[in-house]
């Protein structure tokens, strides 16, 4: 039987692949290995080769795992008892107990009727076509699964753990302290600030605050706050002029508009599909991306591996190359020096 064509894989949307992956991981208690996922789940199996050479597909799976966790879905990894650290034997699963609707949640008769109707649509959609064939293939591998996959509600996690203590400090005008790790630095520094606003910009949360030791305004990316936020007993007097959130967003918008990256992507790849959604096409295979944080973008682009080539600006080129070099060094298990 011939290997599936690349064109067949391109017809599977990212959303459909993620949805199929969640269904597969919900359908088994023992979890699935990477090989079982790549060979059976819709969106992967079309490009899977039983003879090997699935490095690009494995990188795609690693990115999809991060996307699922960012949605608040509790994806777990379970190492093989007799061979810990062996990635080929590691199993992935979504614990059903952590994905069920809360037991204390109740619904009125009208709400139950509407949910029942929605459940019917879910059952027909989630286990039709490719999903049913995937369940059958899992069973053929000797993997027990449950169907229909129904009664599960995604819990979308849109805030970092630092959000709530910062929100409370903002509400009660308390000064806070936290450890903040800037890109390129190995040690986090303690920041003491008076929070002014919490804003979300292009999917990321930022804190606009007055940095007390330097007596200047600063904007902090919440994802770079490491460790707990400490609320001090010190209080601060809110400035008479409001509109801090609006000014912070305007500043971030201006920064985003002024910073542009030119990248080349391989047509038909996962990078092309994902990045094209928020980029402007310059020509065939070349995209222009706006960004606010160079290091955040560098992390994202480096994760696509050879699917992306950064052309400008040079700082972004250097940042992506630096990440690739670090990856090579980690895989070599040393310093990355030439070994002859």
Residue 144 clears pLDDT 70, i.e. is over it: no
Is-contact 88 34, C-beta < 8 A?
Answer: yes
Model pLDDT for residues 98-112, shown as the tens digit of each residue: 555 555 666 566 665
Distances in whole angstroms, Cα of residue 110 to Cα of each of 106, 114, 117, 188: 12, 6, 11, 52
Neighbours of 155 (CB within 10 A): 13
Q: Which two tokens stand for residue 154?
A: 């995604």
What pLDDT band is residue 230 in, cutting at 50, 70 and 90? Answer: very high
CA 245 to chain CA mean position, Å? 25
- The pLDDT value given to residue 1: 37
Q: What is the mean pLDDT of residues 283-295?
A: 89
pTM of the model: 0.54
Residue 19 has a CB neighbour count (10 Å cut-off) of 16
CB-side exposure of 273: number of CA atoms within 13 Å?
A: 14
Q: How far is CA 340 from the centre of its chain?
A: 38
Sign of the Cα pseudo-torsion (107, 108, 111, 117, in order): positive
The yes-or-no verdict on residue 259 having pLDDT over 70 is yes
What is the domain partition of the chain in residue ranges? 6-140, 163-253, 259-332
**Tens of pLDDT along 4-43?**
444 444 456 777 788 888 888 887 777 888 888 888 888 8
- Examine the pLDDT at 223 and tell me if it is beyond 80: yes
Dist. CA 236–CA 195, nearest whole Å? 9
More confident residue, 122 or 224: 224
Q: Does domain 163-253 have CATH number 2.30.30?
A: yes
For 98, residues 6+ apart whose C-beta sits below 8 A from its C-beta are: 74
């Amino acid at each position: 039987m011939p290997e599936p064509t690349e064109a067949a894989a391109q017809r599977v949307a990212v959303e459909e692949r993620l949805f199929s992956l969640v269904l597969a991981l919900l359908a088994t208690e023992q979890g699935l290995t990477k090989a079982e996922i790549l060979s059976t789940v819709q969106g992967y199996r079309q490009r899977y080769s039983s003879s090997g050479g699935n490095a690009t597909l494995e990188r795609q799976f690693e990115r999809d795992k991060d996307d699922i966790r960012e949605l608040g879905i509790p994806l777990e990894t379970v190492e093989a008892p007799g061979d810990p650290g062996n990635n080929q034997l590691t199993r992935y699963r979504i614990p059903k107990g952590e994905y069920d609707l809360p037991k204390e949640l109740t619904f009125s008769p009208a709400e139950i009727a509407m949910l029942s109707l929605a459940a019917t649509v879910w059952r027909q959609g989630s286990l039709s076509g490719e999903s049913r064939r995937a369940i059958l293939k899992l069973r053929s591998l000797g993997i027990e699964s449950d169907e229909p996959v129904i009664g599960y509600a995604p819990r979308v996690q849109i805030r970092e753990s630092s959000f709530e203590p910062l929100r409370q400090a903002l509400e009660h005008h308390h000064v806070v302290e936290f450890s903040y790790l800037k890109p390129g630095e190995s040690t986090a520094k303690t920041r003491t600030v008076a929070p002014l606003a919490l804003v979300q910009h292009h999917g990321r949360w930022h804190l606009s605050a007055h940095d007390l030791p330097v007596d200047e305004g600063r904007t902090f990316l919440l994802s770079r706050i490491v460790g707990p936020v400490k609320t001090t007993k010190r209080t601060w007097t809110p400035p008479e002029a409001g509109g801090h959130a609006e000014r912070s967003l305007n500043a971030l918008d201006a920064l985003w508009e002024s910073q542009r990256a030119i990248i080349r992507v391989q047509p038909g790849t996962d990078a092309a599909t994902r990045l094209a959604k928020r980029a402007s096409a310059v020509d065939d295979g070349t995209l222009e991306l706006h960004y606010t944080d160079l290091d955040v973008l560098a992390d994202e682009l480096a994760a696509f591996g050879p699917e992306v080539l950064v052309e400008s600006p040079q700082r972004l080129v250097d940042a992506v190359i630096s990440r690739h070099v670090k990856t090579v060094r980690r895989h070599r298990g040393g310093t990355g020096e030439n070994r002859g």
